[in-house]
């Protein structure tokens, strides 16, 4: 099992291959639908507004060579600090229309989620040197144990699940399912399954 730490270099990302199990540490940022839409519409499709310039610089600095986690966490507040109670992955295909632009603009190296992503994300990973890491669904409490600290939050006004939480994780185990060499395990498994299905249907029909 390969150990990875964020921020991470393009060379280290391109050394990974689909099917590898990795242990990830460092700071990741959670982002779901509202956060992805906000990043694209406010910072990529136009110049940041003057009152958002400082926030843009903060986000860009953390995402550069960093990671986004498709997650809508459950958080508990203790005074001025937050603790993650549950943090299972969100279905990543919902962010397919945004991911390639965000990878390119912010220099994101790692996307974490469940269910895989499509051709636009695969192409962006190949071109810019990024990977998709599959997290286990249904293990929200277990994943939360890998979160050692909530270091900050952006856009809390979006609501708890949609806010951009900054999480310092340690030893989170994940599987590389889209690599920077053009392989997408989710597509390959779907295609192989379809071939088996068609073969069985042909036998039944014959």
The set of catalytic residues is 36
CA distance 165 to 154: 6
Contact at 8 Å (CB) between 194 and 175? no
- By DSSP bridging, strand 131-134 and strand 110-113 are parallel
Contact at 8 Å (CB) between 74 and 85? yes
Residue for token digits 């632009």?
Answer: 101
Question: Which token pair is 20?
Answer: 């590898």
Q: Can you say how many angstroms the Cα of residue 22 is from the centroid of all Cα atoms in its chain?
A: 14
Q: What is the radius of gyration, based on Cα positions, of the chain?
A: 18
3-state secondary structure of 43: helix
DSSP 59: H
How many beta carbons lie within 10 A of that of residue 42, not counting itself?
15
The vertex-148 CA angle with 147 and 154, nearest 5°, equals 70
């Amino acid at each position: 099992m390969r150990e990875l730490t964020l921020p991470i270099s393009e060379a280290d990302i391109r050394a990974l291959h689909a099917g590898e199990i990795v242990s990830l540490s460092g700071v990741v940022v959670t982002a779901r639908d509202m956060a992805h839409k906000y990043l694209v519409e406010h910072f990529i499709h136009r110049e940041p507004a003057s009152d958002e310039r400082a926030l843009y610089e903060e986000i860009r600095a953390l995402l550069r060579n960093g990671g986004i986690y498709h997650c809508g966490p459950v958080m508990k507040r203790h005074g001025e600090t937050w603790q993650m109670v549950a943090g299972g992955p969100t279905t990543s295909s919902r962010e397919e229309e945004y991911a390639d632009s965000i990878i390119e603009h912010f220099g994101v190296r790692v996307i974490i989620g469940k269910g895989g992503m499509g051709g636009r994300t695969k192409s962006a990973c190949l071109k810019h040197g990024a990977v998709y890491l599959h997290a286990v669904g249904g293990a929200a409490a277990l994943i939360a144990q890998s979160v050692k600290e909530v270091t900050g939050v952006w856009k809390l006004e979006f609501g708890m699940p949609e806010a951009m939480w900054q999480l310092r994780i340690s030893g989170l185990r994940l599987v590389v399912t889209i690599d920077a060499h053009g392989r997408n395990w989710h597509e390959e498994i779907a295609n192989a399954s379809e071939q088996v299905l068609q073969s069985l249907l042909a036998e039944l029909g014959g």
